Amino acid sequence: MFAVLFNFKVAYVYSFAWGMLIALAGNLATTALLTEDTPITHGAIYSMSLSLFVSSVAACIIGLLLENARREWEQEGSQRDDTVVLTYYRPRLMWLLFGIFLSGLAFALVVFITSRSA
């Protein structure tokens, strides 16, 4: 599981997720600032925006750590083999950041679902 979630090819996915989540968080915050009538309360929109921002920061850090690990690995003259389980970063830190990434997404979804049903 670790090799699937944190390999060199997945770094691009985390970078893409970072860009998408930061744009969505900014869009939600701007919507709450500029719109008076929203079907969801402004507090719920700000909560979703903040949780998506936290999730995007975690995705950014994961992507940066993976890119840094790739750079160090290639500088040592290793063959370009993406299936190798990496030892250039700390697994516990990666799992913590991945947990923060998923928690931010889950919290935003829960806030959205509960605010729509209220």
pLDDT digits (tens, 9 = 90+) for 67-94: 887 777 777 776 655 545 455 567 788 8
Mean pLDDT for 22-38 is: 91
Q: Hey, where are the domains in the chain?
A: 2-117
Quickly list H helices, the chain. 2-5, 11-34, 42-75, 91-117
d(CA 21, CA 79): 33
89-118 pLDDT, tens digit per residue, is 677 888 899 999 999 999 999 999 998 765
Q: Which is higher by pLDDT, 94 or 47?
A: 47
d(CA 115, CA 111): 6
CA 58 to chain CA centroid, Å, is 5
